[in-house]
Structure 1
Amino acid sequence: MDINCDLGEGMTNDAELMAKVDSCNIACGGHAGDKQSMLETLRLAKRYGVKAGAHPSFEDKENFGRVVLRVPLNALKSQLIHQIASLNELAKAEGMKLYHVKAHGALYHETAHSREMANILIEAVNFFKEDLCIFVPYGSMLEEEVRRKGIRHWVEVFADRNYDDRLQLLPRSVPNAVINDPKEIKKRVYRMINEKSVITSTRHELNIDFDTICVHGDHPEALEILKELRDIKIKKN
């Protein structure tokens, strides 16, 4: 069970969260983060043996990258390359290798629904020619494109977010989009792992398969959620 978490976003408990995850997505200057925070988060990942990845976004710290910006595509690709490169250079200076790239916020959702945006992210990642894994939303345009192009990827689901009947994340503007009870989240993730299914917001049970589970680092109960998830017993086949 790989658990990933968005870190380096200005929270005060990154060290505690890092100790409980397998992969981390490090903010690299778009929605949050600067050289110092990137360096500190990389060093934490190295200390705890956690796979480090870049977490690029629309360049919009004011809205924490959660608003779609209408940026010319070539400019957006350049911005994403710059963000990933900033983290990559620091990782190499620390004797580390980035494992993956995961888009953040509004950009993440755009790559899920827009083939054009999915390919902008793919092109930005391919610029590095380093076989970086791309974390992709379940059932998304991005998943479709990386599969079609034979690009290394992991399918991601969310522990702390509700899904609709298309297995799309409920928008944060919708009531109950975010799940707050750590014990409820534990039950959901147990079902995801052991039954390969999820209960949607309308109480339908749907099949789901994945490679990694995300807990948002800025969730107020992030640490308690991670403690609960680490206690999950995985059924043996």
Structure 2
Amino acid sequence: MATSVDLNADLGESFGAWKLGDDEAMLGLVTSANVACGFHAGDPAVLLRTCREAAARGVRVGAQVSYRDLAGFGRRFIDVTPEDLTADVIYQIAALQGIAQAAGTTVSYVKPHGALYNTIVSHRDQAAAVAAAVTVVDAGLPVLGLSGSVFFEEARRRGLRTVAEAFADRAYQPDGTLVSRREPNAVLHDPVEIAARVAAMVTAGQITAVDGSVIPVIVESVCVHGDSPGAVEIAMAVRERLLAEGVTLSTFS
């Protein structure tokens, strides 16, 4: 049974006049903020405000890197070369490092976003490209991802710290991967159901897959998507359920 777990959310995803999610409310509930870096969402002013608010709340900032895909919100696979992907990830981390420093905080970890996150579960060339980018920027930065992924293999091969992540509001396949957002019921919406699933993940190390099978899950950090409908209610329900189970919410060390 886990006695403590990190709670993270994807934030800083508004763009210009378009507001997405309630970052201020979410920052009062999570321990880590995966801040967009401008490639799938977020603009410089939004990212600066998000980092300042995270610093004020004592929430750790991570760089959420993605494909260069503003129109698709980073949720479309892009057949980018490893060389270009490495450069893109370096650029994104470095940009957020500058903004975080100006906001009085630092980038403490890296988490891929959307289609990139799912692709590097099994796509070794792109996984290696992302791991290489983190290594050359700062080999001390942990990376969040899916346990058992080739991304974790490539990260560990380079000496990076890997942090196993589980998703509060996403359905799982029997092999431990996420159900595609193109499939029905891939995203869960009931705060009570989601909170119970997270409690089982953290305290029992297991989750029920879409076929009804119970599968093991390794979780050091739990993600609640900040752009989901009812995200604040879901995060609050998850937080309260974990605390009721005697689990401490704290950043991964």
Q: TM-score, normalised by structure 2?
A: 0.90
* 1:6 equivalenced with 2:15 (yes/no): no
Distance 1:151 1:36 in 2: 30
Choose which of 220, 236, 245 in structure 2 pairs with 1:234.
245
Partner amino acid, structure 2, of 1:3: L
Q: SS at the partner of 2:71?
A: helix
Look up the match of 1:183: 192
Q: Which runs of 5+ in 2 are unaligned?
A: 15-19, 248-253
Which residues of 2 match residues 78-227 of structure 1 at below 5 A?
A: 78-129=87-138, 131-227=140-236
Greater shift, 46-55 or 9-18, is seen at: 9-18
Cα contact 1:193–1:234 (8 A) shared by 2: no
Could you give the per-residue CA deviations for residues 127-164 of structure 1, whole angstroms, max 9, x where no partner exists? 21251110011221112222344311211010000101
Partner amino acid, structure 1, of 2:11: L
Instruction: Report the identity percentage.
Output: 38
Distance 1:35 1:199 in 2: 40
Cα contact 2:85–2:126 (8 A) shared by 1: no
Q: SS at the partner of 1:127?
A: helix
Q: Which runs of 5+ in 1 are unaligned?
A: none
Cα contact 2:135–2:160 (8 A) shared by 1: no
Cα contact 1:180–1:221 (8 A) shared by 2: yes
Cα contact 2:21–2:228 (8 A) shared by 1: no
State the Cα distance separating 1:26 from its structure 2 match. Answer: 0.5
Distance 1:32 1:40 in 2: 14
Distance 2:74 2:148 in 1: 22
* 1:47 equivalenced with 2:51 (yes/no): no
Greater shift, 14-23 or 133-142, is seen at: 133-142
Greater shift, 144-153 or 72-81, is seen at: 144-153
State the Cα distance separating 1:212 from its structure 2 match. Answer: 0.2
Superposed CA RMSD: 1.3
Look up the match of 2:45: 36
Q: SS at the partner of 2:201?
A: helix
Choose which of 67, 70, 93 in structure 1 pairs with 2:79.
70
Could you give the per-residue CA deviations for residues 64-91 of structure 1, whole angstroms, max 9, x where no partner exists? 0100112222122111111111110111
Bigger relative contact order (CA 8 A; separation at least 6): 2
Could you give the per-residue CA deviations for residues 19-60 of structure 1, whole angstroms, max 9, x where no partner exists? 100101111111001111110110111011011010111111
Q: TM-score, normalised by structure 1?
A: 0.95
Distance 2:168 2:131 in 1: 25
Distance 2:7 2:138 in 1: 26
Aligned positions, number: 236
Look up the match of 1:19: 28
